[in-house]
Amino acid sequence: MHVHAFIEEMERLAPPDLAEEYDAGKIGLVVEGRQEISRVCCALDATPYVVKQAIRASADMLVVHHTPLWTPVTSITGRIAGLMRDLLSADMNLYVMHTNFDRAQEGVNDALAELLSLTGVSSMSIGCIGSCGLSPAEISQKLGGNCRLWGTVKKIRTLALVGGGGFDPILLEEAQARGADAFLSAEMKHSVARSAPLPCIEATHYALEAPAMQRLSLRRGWQYINDPPLLKILP
Amino acid sequence: MHVHAFIEEMERLAPPDLAEEYDAGKIGLVVEGRQEISRVCCALDATPYVVKQAIRASADMLVVHHTPLWTPVTSITGRIAGLMRDLLSADMNLYVMHTNFDRAQEGVNDALAELLSLTGVSSMSIGCIGSCGLSPAEISQKLGGNCRLWGTVKKIRTLALVGGGGFDPILLEEAQARGADAFLSAEMKHSVARSAPLPCIEATHYALEAPAMQRLSLRRGWQYINDPPLLKILP
Amino acid sequence: MHVHAFIEEMERLAPPDLAEEYDAGKIGLVVEGRQEISRVCCALDATPYVVKQAIRASADMLVVHHTPLWTPVTSITGRIAGLMRDLLSADMNLYVMHTNFDRAQEGVNDALAELLSLTGVSSMSIGCIGSCGLSPAEISQKLGGNCRLWGTVKKIRTLALVGGGGFDPILLEEAQARGADAFLSAEMKHSVARSAPLPCIEATHYALEAPAMQRLSLRRGWQYINDPPLLKILP
Amino acid sequence: MHVHAFIEEMERLAPPDLAEEYDAGKIGLVVEGRQEISRVCCALDATPYVVKQAIRASADMLVVHHTPLWTPVTSITGRIAGLMRDLLSADMNLYVMHTNFDRAQEGVNDALAELLSLTGVSSMSIGCIGSCGLSPAEISQKLGGNCRLWGTVKKIRTLALVGGGGFDPILLEEAQARGADAFLSAEMKHSVARSAPLPCIEATHYALEAPAMQRLSLRRGWQYINDPPLLKILP
Amino acid sequence: MHVHAFIEEMERLAPPDLAEEYDAGKIGLVVEGRQEISRVCCALDATPYVVKQAIRASADMLVVHHTPLWTPVTSITGRIAGLMRDLLSADMNLYVMHTNFDRAQEGVNDALAELLSLTGVSSMSIGCIGSCGLSPAEISQKLGGNCRLWGTVKKIRTLALVGGGGFDPILLEEAQARGADAFLSAEMKHSVARSAPLPCIEATHYALEAPAMQRLSLRRGWQYINDPPLLKILP
Amino acid sequence: MHVHAFIEEMERLAPPDLAEEYDAGKIGLVVEGRQEISRVCCALDATPYVVKQAIRASADMLVVHHTPLWTPVTSITGRIAGLMRDLLSADMNLYVMHTNFDRAQEGVNDALAELLSLTGVSSMSIGCIGSCGLSPAEISQKLGGNCRLWGTVKKIRTLALVGGGGFDPILLEEAQARGADAFLSAEMKHSVARSAPLPCIEATHYALEAPAMQRLSLRRGWQYINDPPLLKILP
């Protein structure tokens, strides 16, 4: 498949118009390689390990959620130089779907809601909300364990969730107003926790967003490359 | 003691000039109450619980690390109205020491270094670095447990630390360049963890900053009001 | 009446959408007190005197034209602390209608036009214009006297007026283009007077805006608290 | 005298470095005419009347306090075209001394202090303060009458003054802190009057600033052209 | 003809709405003279020579493409004072049509396309594109000679052109995408030439824009004043 | 030589502190390759041709004047992808000296002054000025011919010059004030030419800046890669 045709397919899947304004220029084809695409790898981040695995798999295209070129650059040095050398030497393409995929049907939040078997799901201004039959501990289990619970909650009948770092005071208020018993996201800040109007379950960013990339790979017949951050709870 | 004299003492302790520019107008006497100060309470945050306890203790002054008026306001409603009603009706003063206390001698980072028995401590552009005889698990224990370790490290000979949310890529590089084996702070973000050049120990914001307020209370004969966030690791 | 119902009524009277953009966050419920509203006081400004009178009258709500929290604050000290202590301790609400009330039907400019018995009144981009049967001295009399006349005019057939400080060169030109013989407002500046294309009558801000608050109080059965600035012409 | 020599003299009198930053490009030689200067006229403003009188007097140079080109222009039309046509056709120079003359020795505030016979005069951040033996009514008389007194004051032992529109809350506080019994300036605003910490005497901008231009003309042997705004108190 | 009627005619010819945003306040009647217009001169720039010739021709109005007051001014000195003195003393009007005339029908780019006998002309986002039967040397000849060719091209079947300084990378890409064999404009920059995707013919700004003013003068019965910059190729 | 040692040498030659502020992040090591530097190539621009020649020459380092990453990027596609692929695959370093080299001793302007045999050379705020024994045509010859002369000048006793695009009105005035008979630079704009206070000689950017890179290569024993833009005067 020509790279243009591949891009068109991806844009149907996760329309660029859905992206936040701050993603302008940071999604789509972020590194340009060869034009013929037959083998595709997929991951959450373009880490050095992920890129090397994709090269080993002879991929023509690597699809990720987070661009490695977030801050605009006027030089290619250090970690970025290593990454770009690997990608460009292998003539591999790098394609990014970020907040457009968060919001897409079958995207990040949809995949998360499915993983947690939410029902009656509807959108929030970011993320979604639905009926839930799980306890906090069961949610943690589904996400690989070691989540943190801020506040106390036993029974979660209604769960609001935002894949990625979504503990924003305005979103928390929206969730509460819509009857959520708890809010699931990543990267809690002290100042937000102090005034949170409802209990919060904090997972890792990776645990919340990887499922969507994995499910996408499965459906498309791509190879998913798993590379979670090394994280351990100390006693 | 007159409130002016009290403020002068506090400014010797944590000179306002040490504060970050973004703290302008957000430290010092943030709520003005009666002029005669005899009883002082102290806490990390001016939570509703903390304010009520201070009133119960008949305090004239409450000293905290985080201002409740961070975002400039043109109305006093909701949570802020409740807090201000309690403080102003009781004629209580509220005094804030923030980044000036982080950097002060005997301040937040100093107290933390002492708690962890660091030796040969020297300043970084934010936070400090010193020799450490503890394992990650022992550090976690000293901080109340349940820290998170990003990456792997067994023996920490040199530890860099920043009280509060200090996992900043530039600080991490500074720590690495100065030979740190690990970096202790709070509020890790996924994007920072992905490119961290050294292992990171993540405690809560509260666990890192409360010790300094507690030690200050002890030394001054104030009443410390403990109000940690409710936080639990899920299996 | 519940405070929400009261707010709804006020918003019908002076729809927030009519306000200038700079009023964002500075109109509506500016200090939140008790929820049940039975007694309402009204004034032009929330001066210390006005607030004390409203407390003496056991008001649940004080309605004013000018917010006391115009500049966003990160501390509650000095004059503002005194005002907020009085309001919050008494659990009184403070509600502000500003440029939305200037523009409202039956609002500031309407009340002024009525006071001066203008006929055939129509709106300007700010303020209004109408037929007038009064001399400058008669206008001054209706406004409590001691107005100042910039330029010379005997007979005013058409009068343009803007409640508050409205001597803006663009408004003066609009008034002249629409055939005004004089322009009535407050707070004349030297540079504007020097190039004014038509004679100007300068009243006090208070004299121009208080009538609308007074009329509103009368119609609603509220208690109006009069507190004009102390002002005297020196020989 | 060559125009360059004239400018040098003026810059000794009112050094451009003393000017506020907002005067950049708006003081000095604002309209360039002939190079030989023998006859000089002076006024507060370059009004059409003033310019015509200066032409009638065959002046080579007109010195004023307020530039007629305050707002930067990209076209010369209307009132400005008339003024520029008169000046340029007559080959007359126009020289402006503004905030640099306010602050100069023998400048605007100095002349005002002298007119009111202040003693022990010292500078404020803007304007000056000194001992005064006059009542408010006597001050008004010295300034041509019809001043306005905001608040009440009988005996003024210490007077703060700012030529031009200087009723700024920060200046008022400075004056109060330095023991002023009253503050003299022009162009009072309602919001400032409402929270003024001391009584204020409001003269016209012209009455406060013209004396300095008059005195300068007298000392230099220039012709002063008087053109006060037409202003009348209505009963 | 009254000047208002003249302006209306000009605005039909080159509607102000067509102008770029940066032309706001810099087109239309830029210097206001007498109201009755019978004799009109026209030129590309309001140079001192052009203004003097227009005065010699007793013109009431001078129409030009480039305003002499591009940068907003707060003083009238030096070169601008000379120009304004000549115009205002002679009571002459100065009218500017800039990017609105570039884009107008029968405007700058239209006149250029006609001069080069382009056929099948259509608009680009700026400038136009059409079929061309000329070699680069023939184009240069039509424009008075001494053009510069960047890159190599023999036969130009399709030519893109932008009157004035239009070698913008985005325009060059648009031209290439629409099949242009060469791009004609003025004021080539090194950085643009280095990455130009098609050959470029560089004429002078004057040679590209004067034809439209000349043709306009001819059609309107105005006197065109020719004043090209002195320019010579050195061996 | 290790790349760090090479960079130190270059920084002695053209200290980064000399650079304009807009060069921040755009000079120095712009693409990072291998660490051991033995073979160095040099050119004015990192064009595709230059990079390919440097690879053919097995260079470890390419030194240029103009960075190919001027505009900050968040993607590596198109022309930039090709360039980066070539550089990174070959593990070649790219080092940029821009306005710091313009100003350096033995830098761009020095080399140009030497090429034209100027004597008594002194710095201007940008560029330099000196005594000259050449006619315009002789200057053109020394720069490869085909310069353009704006205005007329026969004998140039004093020449001001700025390598690169330096026809700035303020620089032209500075040159005139210092007695220059002509100003040599590149990229003349129509608006600047129209009000230029002295005759101007316009060479190409390349002709003015390449000599310094060539001379540097000669002195250092590097290989200079010549790649002038294709440019031809049309009759």
Question: In the 3-class helix/strand/coil scheme, how is A92-114 assigned residue by residue?
Answer: CEEEECCHHHHHCCCCHHHHHHH
Chain F residues near residue A28 by CB distance under 8 angstroms: 75
Question: By C-alpha distance, which of E84, E121, E81, E91 is closest to E105?
Answer: E121
pLDDT at C154 over 90: no
Tell me the per-residue pLDDT of B206-217, one tens digit each, with 9 for 90 and over. 999 999 999 999
Rounded to whole angstroms, the Cα distance separating C81 from F47 reads: 66
Tell me the per-residue pLDDT of B178-228, one tens digit each, with 9 for 90 and over. 999 999 999 999 999 999 999 999 999 999 999 999 999 999 999 999 999
Tell me the per-residue pLDDT of A90-112, one tens digit each, with 9 for 90 and over. 999 999 999 999 999 999 999 99
- Please name the member of E78, E88, E89 whose beta carbon is closest to the beta carbon of D81: E88
Tell me the per-residue pLDDT of F8-53, one tens digit each, with 9 for 90 and over. 999 999 999 999 999 999 999 999 999 999 999 999 999 999 999 9
Mutation target vs E (from D26, D32, D91, D95; most E CBs, 10 A cutoff): D32
pLDDT at A18 over 90: yes
Chain C touched by B84 (CB under 8 Å): yes
Strand partners, F159: F130, F182
Tell me the pTM. Answer: 0.91
- Please name the member of E26, E32, E85 whose beta carbon is closest to the beta carbon of D81: E32
Which residues neighbour D123 within 8 Å (Cβ) at sequence distance 6 or greater? none
Rounded to whole angstroms, the Cα distance separating C132 from C136 reads: 10
Q: Report how far Cα A55 is from the mean position of its chain's Cα atoms.
A: 22
pLDDT at A223 over 90: yes
E149: helix, strand or coil: strand
Q: What is the β-pairing status of strands C223-224 and C40-42?
A: parallel
> What's the pLDDT band for B92 if we cut at 50, 70, 90?
very high
Supply the angle between the helices E48-56 and E78-89 in degrees, to the nearest 10.
Answer: 10
pLDDT at E209 over 90: yes
Here the ipTM equals 0.95
Give B52 or E133, the one with higher predicted confidence. Answer: B52
Instruction: Please give the average per-residue pLDDT across C118-141, as a whole number.
Output: 96
Chain C touched by D150 (CB under 8 Å): yes
Chain E touched by F176 (CB under 8 Å): no
Q: Do B148 and A234 touch (CB under 8 A)?
A: yes
Give burial (CB, 10 Å; 0-12/13-18/19+) of A202: buried
Backbone φ and ψ of C42, nearest 5°: -145, 145
Chain D residues near residue C141 by CB distance under 8 angstroms: 235
Instruction: Please give the average per-residue pLDDT across B145-162, as a whole number.
Output: 96
Rounded to whole angstroms, the Cα distance separating D3 from D39 reads: 11
Chain C touched by B85 (CB under 8 Å): yes
> What's the pLDDT band for E154 if we cut at 50, 70, 90?
confident
Chain C touched by B73 (CB under 8 Å): yes
Question: By C-alpha distance, which of F97, F42, F33 is closest to F60?
Answer: F33
Instruction: Please give the average per-residue pLDDT across E140-163, as a whole number.
Output: 96
pLDDT at A154 over 90: no
pLDDT at C212 over 90: yes
Please tell me the distance in Å from B223's CA to the nearest CA on chain C.
24
Show the DSSP H helices in chain A as ranges.
3-13, 48-56, 78-89, 99-103, 108-115, 136-142, 169-177, 190-194, 205-220
Chain D touched by C190 (CB under 8 Å): yes
Chain F touched by E136 (CB under 8 Å): yes
- Please name the member of D139, D164, D235 whose beta carbon is closest to the beta carbon of C140: D235
User: Which chains does chain A touch, 3 or more C-beta pairs < 8 A?
Assistant: B, F
Q: Do B88 and C74 touch (CB under 8 A)?
A: no
- Please name the member of E141, E152, E206 whose beta carbon is closest to the beta carbon of F190: E206
Query: Residue E186: its pLDDT value, please?
Result: 98
Please tell me the distance in Å from B36's CA to the nearest CA on chain A.
30
Instruction: Decide: B and C in contact? Rule: 3+ Cβ pairs under 8 Å.
Output: yes
Please tell me the distance in Å from B27's CA to the nearest CA on chain C.
9
Chain A touched by B151 (CB under 8 Å): yes
Tell me the per-residue pLDDT of F88-122, one tens digit each, with 9 for 90 and over. 999 999 999 999 999 999 999 999 999 999 999 99
Type of residue at A58: S
Please tell me the distance in Å from A79's CA to the nearest CA on chain B.
9
Rounded to whole angstroms, the Cα distance separating F132 from F153 reads: 13
Q: What is the β-pairing status of strands A148-150 and A200-203?
A: antiparallel
Instruction: Decide: C and D in contact? Rule: 3+ Cβ pairs under 8 Å.
Output: yes
Furthest-apart CA atoms within chain B: distance in Å: 53
When the pLDDT of each residue in chain C is averaged and rounded to a whole number, the result is 97
Instruction: Please give the average per-residue pLDDT across C45-55, as a whole number.
Output: 98
Question: By C-alpha distance, which of A95, A40, A37, A42 is closest to A69?
Answer: A95
pLDDT at B160 over 90: yes
Instruction: Please give the average per-residue pLDDT across F167-172, as a whole number.
Output: 97
Tell me the per-residue pLDDT of E48-71, one tens digit each, with 9 for 90 and over. 999 999 999 999 999 999 999 999
How crowded is residue C89: how many other Cβ atoms within 10 Å of its Cβ?
15
Chain E residue with Cα closest to F164: E190
Chain D touched by C154 (CB under 8 Å): no
Please tell me the distance in Å from E5's CA to the nearest CA on chain F.
31
